[in-house]
Amino acid sequence: MTLAGIYVHIPYCKQKCHYCNFYSFASNNYRELFVEALLKEIKLRKNYLGKEIINTVYFGGGTPSMLNIDELNKIIKQLDDVFYLSDEIETTLEANPDDLNTEKIHNLKKHTSINRLSIGVQSFFDDDLLYLNRVHNSKQATDSIENAIKAGFDNITVDLIYGIPGLTEKKWRENLRTFFDLNINHLSSYSLTVEPKTALNTLINKRKLENIVEEESIRHFYILQEETDKHAFTHYEISNFAREGYYSKHNSIYWLGGHYAGFGPSAHSFNGRTRQWNVSNMKRYVESETAENIIKEKETLTIRQQYNEYVMTSLRTSWGCDTLHIKNVFGDSFVKLFEKEAAKHIFNNKLLKNASVYKLSKQAKLFADGIASDFFVF
Ligand code: SF4
């Protein structure tokens, strides 16, 4: 059975983090019109996923925790009115620590159906947070998690970034220790990257900030694997670690080829046949009267593109890439191509084979995207 989910993009932030290349901005422009436009888009695109049962709703951004309880409930109600939401739905809110004071968390728990929090901690050290230009401090980071637990949230994930200049191996281990001491069941951890057109890129080029050192990021990744292993977390996707029963249902939809509708500016959607992107332009988004006007681009995936995507996403996960699936969906010729390429990587200990399933070896996970691209068919 294919799972289906809904993503809602909230582009507001209190300040722009140096490394950020998401569609988000530090202003409240069009705030009221935006929520109305979201409600309108949800209605306009109600047929995108047919009659599929929706298993997950994910508020991402931007900083969705900047929305107040009424705004969140209006959006959730609209989704409930328009789609078939599962009784066991996972509803995640991305939240920044500075928004999660006791009152806000209490209200989220008591007055909304949000049952999973994704807290953007990034680091428990103030100097890292300063480097990243995060708006919160380390005390707010721990307080927000403790407040969330006290309020009764038992499904919490935390984001941590490694490879930050100045983050020594000792400090990285301390960050992970603080995380494990808080007894959270899910961790998403990413290597800091310098994307073009970000403030970080400019500041590094002007030598106002130190550049990242790739070898340090690599060492941090192996420490991450070691520490999560020790604490019985499964490395179930390149950047995601969890205890049994706490995997992100929503992100698993992306990784397992499920279907999703994305609402809000810049949001992506995929229904098994077509993929589309909304405009990254708030003015145009709120002024659009039709679903077509909101779409920036739409493409129908060829069989080769679908195959490439399957290999790319499945190799990143602990479920691995299954040649039985390739045979059933893409045909024998693709199995042959896959096995031919796989033999080289098995020989180099980058790939492990168990019956029809191929997985990356522990060491090779760091190079997942490069290895996957060797399998691409054009
Ligand atoms: S809070 Fe997230 S979306 Fe907002 S600027 Fe920072 S990284 Fe970007």
Instruction: Render pLDDT for 108-151 as a digit per residue (tens, 0 to 9).
Output: 999 999 999 999 999 999 999 999 999 999 999 999 999 999 99
**The pLDDT value given to residue 116:** 98
Which of 13, 14, 21, 28 maximizes ligand 1 atoms within 8 Å of its Cβ, making it the mutation to test the pocket?
13
Residue 216 has pLDDT above 90, yes or no: yes
**Model pLDDT for residues 290-307, shown as the tens digit of each residue:** 999 999 999 999 999 999
For 171, half-sphere exposure in the C-beta direction (CA atoms, 13 angstrom radius) is: 18
What is the residue-averaged pLDDT of the chain?
96
Q: Which residue has the least CA distance to atom 2 on ligand 1? A: 62
Look at the block and give the residue holding tokens 């069941």: 185
pLDDT band, very low/low/confident/very high, at 3 (cuts 50, 70, 90): confident
Walk me through the domains of the chain, giving residue ranges and CATH numbers.
Answer: 4-255 (3.80.30.20), 303-374 (1.10.10)
In ligand 1, the atom with minimum distance to the C-alpha of 61 is 3
The residue length of the chain stands at 378
**The pLDDT value given to residue 203:** 98
Handedness of CA 231, 236, 241, 243 (dihedral sign): negative
3-state secondary structure of 173: helix
pLDDT band, very low/low/confident/very high, at 56 (cuts 50, 70, 90): very high
CA of 20 to the centre of ligand 1 (A): 6
CA of 63 to the centre of ligand 1 (A): 7
3-state secondary structure of 237: strand
**Model pLDDT for residues 65-87, shown as the tens digit of each residue:** 999 999 999 999 999 999 999 99
Decide: 89 and 57 in contact? Cβ < 8 Å.
yes
Q: Is the CB of 61 under 6 A from ligand 1?
A: yes
State how far the Cα of 157 lies from the Cα of 117, in Å rounded to an integer: 6
CA of 263 to the centre of ligand 1 (A): 18
For 102, half-sphere exposure in the C-beta direction (CA atoms, 13 angstrom radius) is: 1
Q: Is the CB of 22 under 6 A from ligand 1?
A: yes
Chain centre distance of CA 189: 10
Residues 6+ apart with CB under 8 A from 349: 361, 363, 364
Decide: 159 and 149 in contact? Cβ < 8 Å.
no
Angle 10-12-17 from CA coordinates, rounded to 5°: 115
Q: Is the CB of 13 under 6 A from ligand 1?
A: yes
What is the Rg, in whole angstroms, of the alpha carbon atoms belonging to the chain? 21
In ligand 1, the atom with minimum distance to the C-alpha of 62 is 3
Residue 2 has pLDDT above 80, yes or no: no
3-state secondary structure of 302: coil
Q: Which residue has the least CA distance to atom 7 on ligand 1? A: 20
Q: Is the CB of 10 under 6 A from ligand 1?
A: no
Decide: 100 and 147 in contact? Cβ < 8 Å.
yes
Q: Is the CB of 38 under 6 A from ligand 1?
A: no
**Model pLDDT for residues 343-352, shown as the tens digit of each residue:** 999 999 999 9
Q: Which residue has the least CA distance to atom 3 on ligand 1? A: 62
Q: Which residue has the least CA distance to atom 6 on ligand 1? A: 17
Mean pLDDT, residues 329-333: 96
Decide: 124 and 141 in contact? Cβ < 8 Å.
yes
Look at the block and give the residue holding tokens 């500075």: 98
3-state secondary structure of 150: helix
Phi, psi of 110 (to 5 degrees): -80, -35
Q: Which residue has the least CA distance to atom 8 on ligand 1? A: 20
Token pair belonging to 363: 């060491």
First and final C-alpha spacing in the chain: 29
CA of 377 to the centre of ligand 1 (A): 35
State how far the Cα of 366 lies from the Cα of 218, in Å rounded to an integer: 8
- DSSP strand E in 212-350: where? 234-237, 240-242, 259-263, 268-270, 274-278, 295-300, 321-322
pLDDT band, very low/low/confident/very high, at 1 (cuts 50, 70, 90): low
Decide: 264 and 64 in contact? Cβ < 8 Å.
no
Decide: 107 and 70 in contact? Cβ < 8 Å.
no
State how far the Cα of 98 lies from the Cα of 129, in Å rounded to an integer: 12
Which of 7, 8, 10, 24 maximizes ligand 1 atoms within 8 Å of its Cβ, making it the mutation to test the pocket?
24
Q: Is the CB of 17 under 6 A from ligand 1?
A: yes
Mean pLDDT, residues 19-37: 95
State how far the Cα of 41 lies from the Cα of 288, in Å rounded to an integer: 9
Burial 217-241 (b: 16+ CB within 10 A, else e): beebbebbbebbeeeebebbbbbbb
Q: Is 176 left (phi over 0), alpha (psi -120 to 50) or beta?
A: alpha
